[in-house]
Structure 1
Amino acid sequence: MSSERHGDWASWAPSGRLAVPVIVLLVNVANLVGVATVTLLLIGVSGDAGGGSRAAVLWTALGYTVIALPVGTLIGMRRQRVTNAWLMADRAPTTAEATQALRLPVDTAIVAGVIWGIAAVLIGVVSAAVFPDARIGIRTGVATLLGGVVTAGVTYLLVARAARAVTARALAAHPPAGRLTLGVRPRLLLTWGLTSGVPLLGLVLLFLDPSNPDGPGRATVVFLSVVALLVGGLATLLTARYVGQPLRELREAVQKVGEGDYDASVTVDDAGEIGLLQEGVNSMAAGLAERERLRDLFGRHVGTTVAQRALEDGVQLGGELRTVAALFVDVVGSTSLVRRTGPEEMVGLLNGFFEVVVEAVEDEGGLVNKFEGDAALCVFGAPTEHPDPSGAALRAARRICDGVRKAGKLDIGVGVSCGRVWAGQVGAASRLEYTVIGDPVNEAARLTELAKDLSGRAVASEPTVCAAPAEERAHWVRDAEVELRGRGEPTATWVRRTD
């Protein structure tokens, strides 16, 4: 047996091998309580005449109870033998077995209802035969029938509550279809019938009984009212638990999902509307978790800013002109290094190098646009605006040089340039890539080659340094004018201050 998550007695539900036998035991107890209640009611409504006749009726009821309870137990166990089989084998049920398990409350209530129906006919016939006024048989039969209706209804609510663990295991193997149990509205109507409809109908029939023109006695009315209050309280408690506890669990799960815990879920333990809602919340959480994983994977491939921009604006070809700072970083002597270390060790070195690059660039609000073998192109100012692209790029360049030098495993060169570029998606409709195209990108790559031969290992174009704040310019000194490959004009360069 097990207790559900909240741990209080009202949440208790048997599970495992003893589930069906324990539920049958609970049903027998509920029916014995019903028998005792109806017996006391029969004593009050069977009239004052014929004490021997009343005794005959009571002995008939007792004898029938002794026979009916074990017979009903056997019938109930037989109807749910397949459920007991897979529970005892501790395995997942098949679709047919899960369907049968979901019918446990209905089957139990039907068996109880049939047994009580037979009892009503039997007691009514015996009463008509032994009492001087045969109409008393109708009175006792109706009283027994109404008691049976209430007992069968309470049995359904009780079993539906007690079988939550069994229902959860069945639905875990085969999700709910929403057709196998009473939904919220029928269950509320059943509760109304048990708490108001049947007791009031019983009182009305007692007052309209032609065999008792004086009406029922005070004790009978009081007893019937007390029973109605007790049964109503139990039925209302079971219905409230049926609706309230799953809603509380759903609220807690939705709150966790709202806080970013996409692993939150609820146990699906109902085959009606509530079960469909539980399954829907679980599906929603799983979908959001999958979306978050895709967002994270997307961001790792294209950069978080590009991913966010694509999610907000959609995926489309095209772009825009922007003023950006481009930072290009490349490893010195990578060809000979890979021959010395081997490809596996080289990949480890590159991963450590790129970790330094990504951390420095993202801390400054930039985007690592692409990795190109042992090199990386980083952009400041696209796809989102940057208040100081040049200053951020220069600070990132210095930080990258310091980080790689501190690691002592690789040597690099860094080039920084700024200017107008085209930034946007290129490729085909089925395969896109965010990139920047323009002279600053080419210039940064050429400056990187120049930086590999300098002690500071970082070179920037003059417009880049001049556009940076004064406190950043203090870390750079003007160097020579050089003609970079493919440009055809001199480029004024600044190098990182090393003194």
Structure 2
Amino acid sequence: MTTAGEDVRRRLTGMAGWAPSGRLAVPVIVGLVIAANLVGVGTVVVLLLGVEGDRGSTGRAEVLWAAAAYLAVALPLAVLAGLGRQRATNRWLMAGRGPTVEEARQALRLPLDTALVAAVVWLLGAVLMGAVAALTFPDALVGARVAVAVLLGGVVTAGVTYLLVARAARAVTARALAAHPPAGALTLGVRIRLLLTWGLTSGVPMVGVVLLYLDPSNPDGPGRAAVVFLVVVALLVGALATVLTARAVGQPLRDLRRAVQQVGAGDYAVDVMVDDAGEIGLLQEGVNSMAAGLAERERLRDLFGRHVGTTVAQRALTTGVSLGGEERTVAALFVDVAGSTALVRRTGPEEMVGLLNRFFGVVVDAIEDEGGLVNKFEGDAALCVFGAPADHPDPAGAALRAARRICDAVATAGEVDVGVGVACGRVWAGQVGAASRLEYTVIGDPVNEAARLTDLAKEHPGRAVASEPTVLTAAPGEQVHWQADREVRLRGRDEPTQTWVRVR
């Protein structure tokens, strides 16, 4: 259950990270561009305060009327020009489809293109206002001052426009990058953004203050009000630019941190939204690719382990695989279903498969719980090994315990009848096959002996038979569950084998 404070924080986070998309994207972006231009106009007004100085000239009215007329014509034209450049972006957004490569590239340029349109409008305005001021004021140098003031206002406007539009167009950027992920070609990266923020927070205000004092048309220097208002505007614009840059960099980094922590915890279902066309976007795409690669590797590890056994898979991933092996002392357990031919005729192939799967589930649980390896399934039989590929402190005792557990579980289920044979000794364990297709196996007399003992076990009431060396090698706590039976001559062996069976 979440607290009220957590709900409020989550709601505020969602509002701060909201970005318009679809039909809302263009109107919101147009509104933000107009707001950015108003910020620029305010900056210019502050820079022009005190332009008449002590000379009492009357040229300010003409400049203001010329500015108003220019804005009335230039702003609509600028909006139309911006919409024209992004007509393709608006088309696929309104259609609700994914963009083409060229459409995605153009959508990623939306903040930069919008800022360039604003910069052109203000550059032309600086030339026009400077000319009007030079003609209307007695001192032509006032025209230079007005032109520089308007130019600085244009820098502020273009910078704020870029930051605002980049923030508002996150959803559009994300959709474009989702269709065509970043491939290394960056637009404006983190370094350029930080330099832009520095220019808006320090560069333009400081240049403005310096120009106010160096203005040849006003040798007495600016009034106190002009300097104070310029500092206030610098603080406000600087705060806005800093917040926008911090959000543009900080929020993705927080998302990436959570994603990396999620991957570190073993959860690879990570899908970070790629909403940046710069270095951060490359990092977001990289984290997604890393998580996908780890998920694929984990899936292959899981499939590999299911086919060859977890122990063999882990050893292969750690040391690699190659033809060859080593001699080891192991205990081999062979389990086989009795009367399987008649059983499949009675049940049918499909039902027989389900029955075998349930039976092998019992075998796998018993073997793995005792630290063994189900080396291979052979139709309705299974070969299990204790002591390879990993060492085991008591391979014989573990094999005997697993044999008893399998027999008890099968008898309780009552679906099949089995025989279990257990033998131990020296074997060769390793990879066999070809360079392109390997299989881990164990080869040696104990494996053959266990298979032969399985045939005897099918006729014994306890359904499990072990060789004498196996029981005598096991820990004393396991030996009490077995008793000597009879001596038999197994097929393929010259020497007789002393067998032991479960104590009933």
Give the TM-score range, shorter chain.
over 0.9
Q: Which runs of 5+ in 1 are unaligned?
A: none
Partner of 2:3: none
Deviation at 1:399, TM superposition (A): 0.8
Structure 1 Cα separation of the partners of residues 372 and 55 of structure 2? 99
Once the two structures are superposed, the pairs formed by residues 95-244 of structure 1 within 5 Å of their partners are 95-244=101-250
Deviation at 1:178, TM superposition (A): 3.5
User: Which segment drifts farther, 274-283 or 60-69?
Assistant: 60-69
**Is this contact kept in 2: 1:45–1:220, CA < 8 A?**
no
Which of 385, 410, 415 is the aligned partner of 2:416? Answer: 410
Which of 455, 460, 474 is the aligned partner of 1:454? Answer: 460
Deviation readout 1:100-119 (Å, 9 max, x if unpaired)? 10010011000100111111
Q: For residues 144 and 113 of structure 1, do their structure 2 counterparts lie closer, same or farther at Cα, with a shift above 3 Å needed?
A: same
TM-score (norm 1): 0.97
Q: Which runs of 5+ in 2 are unaligned?
A: 1-9
Instruction: Give the letter for the 1:311 counterpart.
Output: L
Once the two structures are superposed, the pairs formed by residues 34-49 of structure 1 within 5 Å of their partners are 34-49=40-55
SS at match of 1:249: helix
Structure 2 Cα separation of the partners of residues 5 and 177 of structure 1? 34
Once the two structures are superposed, the pairs formed by residues 413-492 of structure 1 within 5 Å of their partners are 413-492=419-498
Instruction: Give the letter for the 1:425 counterpart.
Output: Q
Q: Percent identity, aligned pairs only?
A: 77
Deviation at 1:8, TM superposition (A): 4.0
Over 6 Å off, 4+ runs: none
Deviation readout 1:20-42 (Å, 9 max, x if unpaired)? 22111111112123213322432
Q: For residues 28 and 240 of structure 1, do their structure 2 counterparts lie closer, same or farther at Cα, with a shift above 3 Å needed?
A: same
Q: How many residues align?
A: 495
Deviation at 1:351, TM superposition (A): 0.5
Once the two structures are superposed, the pairs formed by residues 29-68 of structure 1 within 5 Å of their partners are 29-50=35-56, 52-68=58-74
**Is this contact kept in 2: 1:167–1:270, CA < 8 A?**
yes
SS at match of 1:7: helix
Q: Is 1:302 matched up with 2:308?
A: yes
Deviation at 1:180, TM superposition (A): 4.5
Instruction: Give the letter for the 2:360 counterpart.
Output: F
Structure 2 Cα separation of the partners of residues 326 and 45 of structure 1? 100
Which of 77, 81, 84 is the aligned partner of 1:78? Answer: 84
Instruction: Give the letter for the 2:231 counterpart.
Output: S
Instruction: Give the letter for the 1:77 counterpart.
Output: L
**Is this contact kept in 1: 2:370–2:399, CA < 8 A?**
yes
Partner of 2:7: none
**Is this contact kept in 2: 1:178–1:271, CA < 8 A?**
no
Deviation readout 1:261-294 (Å, 9 max, x if unpaired)? 1111211111111111111111000000000000
Partner of 1:340: 346
Deviation readout 1:84-104 (Å, 9 max, x if unpaired)? 111111111111110110010
SS at match of 1:30: helix
User: Which segment drifts farther, 292-301 or 58-67?
Assistant: 58-67
Partner of 2:362: 356
Instruction: Give the letter for the 1:419 counterpart.
Output: G
Structure 2 Cα separation of the partners of residues 465 and 180 of structure 1? 71
Q: For residues 401 and 53 of structure 1, do their structure 2 counterparts lie closer, same or farther at Cα, with a shift above 3 Å needed?
A: same
Partner of 1:392: 398
Q: For residues 266 and 390 of structure 1, do their structure 2 counterparts lie closer, same or farther at Cα, with a shift above 3 Å needed?
A: same
Structure 1 Cα separation of the partners of residues 444 and 206 of structure 2? 87
Q: For residues 397 and 66 of structure 1, do their structure 2 counterparts lie closer, same or farther at Cα, with a shift above 3 Å needed?
A: same
Deviation at 1:316, TM superposition (A): 0.9
**Is this contact kept in 2: 1:46–1:140, CA < 8 A?**
no
Instruction: Give the letter for the 1:153 counterpart.
Output: G
Instruction: Give the letter for the 1:473 counterpart.
Output: Q
Q: Is 1:275 matched up with 2:281?
A: yes
- CA-based RMSD of the aligned residues comes to 1.4
Deviation at 1:46, TM superposition (A): 4.5
Structure 2 Cα separation of the partners of residues 348 and 365 of structure 1? 26
TM-score (norm 2): 0.96
Partner of 1:288: 294
**Is this contact kept in 2: 1:109–1:156, CA < 8 A?**
yes
Deviation at 1:417, TM superposition (A): 0.5
Deviation readout 1:200-244 (Å, 9 max, x if unpaired)? 112222222212111211111111111111111111111111211
Deviation at 1:362, TM superposition (A): 0.3
Deviation readout 1:392-433 (Å, 9 max, x if unpaired)? 101100111111111111110000011111111111111000
Q: For residues 426 and 16 of structure 1, do their structure 2 counterparts lie closer, same or farther at Cα, with a shift above 3 Å needed?
A: same
Partner of 1:378: 384
Deviation at 1:5, TM superposition (A): 9.7
